[in-house]
Structures are given as C-alpha cells and as structure tokens.
C-alpha cells in the first residue's frame, strides 16, 4: 500500500489513542522511518517528553537557523540533560547564507515578504528537506488553534511537498491542555513563554505579544501574512 493511501486506515486508529499510544503505534508500523522535528516550543516539548520517556525508536531533530534566542539553546541543553537523550541538529548551507548576506545584508527579511521567505527557505526549508530524507512519517507539534492555516489540518495527512505522512498528534489539543501536560510532567520549557513569547522562532523575527493578541502575532509582526515560514504551508 502506498504511503498516502494508508491515511484512511490509520487516521481512525490514531484519533482514538492517547499521545503516548499514538507515538508507539507509528513507531511500530514504520520501524526506522519515523522522525520528529522539534523547535523546542511548548507543544514540541510535550511530544519530546512522550518520546524520550518511552525510549521510542523515533529520530528527533531540530533546525538551527543560526539566529535563535539564547534561551532556546539553553533549553536544548536542559532537555538533553533531563532525558539523557540526543537529537540531531541541521544547519543551513554555509555558502547560501554567505551569499544571501553578501547580496542583501543581515536583515533583508524586514524589507519584503519575498525576502523573508527567501531567508526562511535558506535557513529552514532546505535543512528540513535534508532532515526528512528517507523518512516515511514526520511528527510535528502543530495545533489547530495556532493559526487559520492549521485549523483544517488533520491528525494524519499526506505532505506532498516532502512526500511523507505528517502526523500531528496534538492537532486537537488546546493551549491549556499543553500547559497542563507540561506542569503535570515537569517538562522543561522556554522561559520566554513567561515573558509574552508564545510562539518562538528566530530572534529577529519574534516579539512578545500583547494581551488579547493572537498567539502567532509576534511572528514576523511587521508584515501582513499567514504567519508561516513554509515548513507547514499545507
């Protein structure tokens, strides 16, 4: 059965399972072919906790754009120490970053949506494609209420751009449920969350949000867009 044809059979099973059970199932059904991408946000820390505590055979990786907050790097080390686990780190291609900076400077992403997407493409999209090479299932920390683009996403869907099944185990979770899990299981998270940073990306492209603002309003706040970098464009 082709990967994209397995959604109809798998989705009802996954919908009926807990987070831990769902992760165990995909790891069993796709041995050695399941990966989890973490940006070390609160949702990702929930999933990482479930993976690491169960010692599941799921490859965990992160994308280091070279412009992350110091607090994010600190959390990476804290997570590694907490679980005694390792994760792979993928970096942008040095030559492409050098060319971008030489031609357009360090902050070209502020000048237009096109420039910002170019930067995201170099620092995120290309490294992601390398990280997903050989995978059949890509686990993400997406939640439906995070943005309009994500509201209609299913727990399991076919990612045509990357030719993988995308498993979104928290897609129906509320933010309160995420916070409750973190507290109950004493999962480390980023201290920036307590300073108004709900969605955290690169330092230059993320600001704290004001009370009442959408959780992703602080991402690329200077532009009117769907607030997506292209990793989960749908």
Taking only the tens place, the pLDDT of each residue in 161-200 is: 999 999 999 999 999 999 999 999 999 999 999 999 988 9
pLDDT digits (tens, 9 = 90+) for 28-39: 999 999 999 999
Looking at residue 223, what is its pLDDT? 86
Q: Among 4-8, 151-155, 180-184, whose mean pLDDT is lowest?
A: 4-8
Tokens 């690169």 correspond to 202
Superfamily of domain 3-190: HUPs (3.40.50.620)
pLDDT digits (tens, 9 = 90+) for 68-109: 999 999 999 999 999 999 999 999 999 999 999 999 999 999
Alpha-carbon separation of residue 187 from 50, 51, 80, 181 (angstroms)? 10, 12, 12, 8
Q: What is the pTM of this model?
A: 0.91
Structure tokens at 64: 């280091």
**Quick check: 232 pLDDT over 60?**
no
Looking at residue 4, what is its pLDDT? 66
- Residue 118 CB partners (closer than 8 Å, separation 6+): 100, 108, 109
Q: Decide: 101 and 82 in contact? Cβ < 8 Å.
A: no
DSSP 8-state symbol, 146: G
Cα 202 → chain centroid: 13
Q: Which run of H or of E encompasses 137?
A: strand 137-139
**Quick check: 216 pLDDT over 60?**
yes
**Quick check: 225 pLDDT over 80?**
no
How does residue 52 score in pLDDT terms, banded at 50, 70 and 90? very high
What are the residue numbers of the active site? 229
Section 13-19 average pLDDT = 97
Looking at residue 234, what is its pLDDT? 47
**Quick check: 21 pLDDT over 70?**
yes
CA distance 218 to 210: 9
Domain boundaries, the chain: 3-190
User: Over the chain, what is the mean pLDDT?
Assistant: 92
How does residue 224 score in pLDDT terms, banded at 50, 70 and 90? confident
Section 7-23 average pLDDT = 95
**Quick check: 151 pLDDT over 70?**
no
Sign of CA dihedral 168, 170, 173, 174: negative
**Quick check: 115 pLDDT over 70?**
yes
Section 52-80 average pLDDT = 98
Q: What count of other Cβ atoms lies within 10 Å of the Cβ of residue 233?
A: 11
Structure tokens at 62: 């992160």
């Amino acid at each position: 059965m082709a990967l994209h044809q397995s959604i109809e059979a798998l989705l009802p099973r996954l919908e009926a399972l807990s987070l831990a059970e769902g992760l165990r199932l995909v790891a069993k059904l796709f041995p050695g072919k399941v990966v989890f991408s973490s940006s070390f946000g609160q949702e990702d820390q929930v999933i990482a906790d479930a993976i690491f505590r169960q010692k599941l055979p799921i490859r965990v990786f992160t994308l280091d754009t070279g412009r992350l907050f110091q607090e994010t790097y600190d959390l990476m080390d804290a997570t590694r120490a907490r679980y005694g686990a390792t994760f792979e780190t993928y970096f942008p291609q040095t030559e492409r970053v050098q060319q971008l900076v030489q031609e357009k400077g360090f902050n070209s992403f502020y000048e237009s949506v096109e420039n910002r997407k170019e930067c995201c493409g170099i620092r995120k999209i290309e490294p992601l494609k390398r990280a997903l090479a050989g995978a059949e299932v890509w686990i993400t920390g997406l939640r439906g209420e995070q943005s309009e683009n994500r509201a209609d996403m299913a727990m399991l869907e076919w990612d045509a751009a990357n030719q993988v099944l995308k498993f979104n185990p928290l897609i129906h979770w509320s933010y309160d449920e995420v916070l409750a899990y973190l507290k109950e299981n004493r999962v480390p998270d980023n201290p920036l969350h307590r300073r108004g940073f709900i969605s955290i990306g690169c330092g230059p492209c993320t600001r704290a949000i004001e009370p009442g603002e959408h959780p992703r309003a602080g991402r690329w706040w200077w532009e009117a867009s769907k607030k997506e970098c292209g990793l989960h464009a749908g």
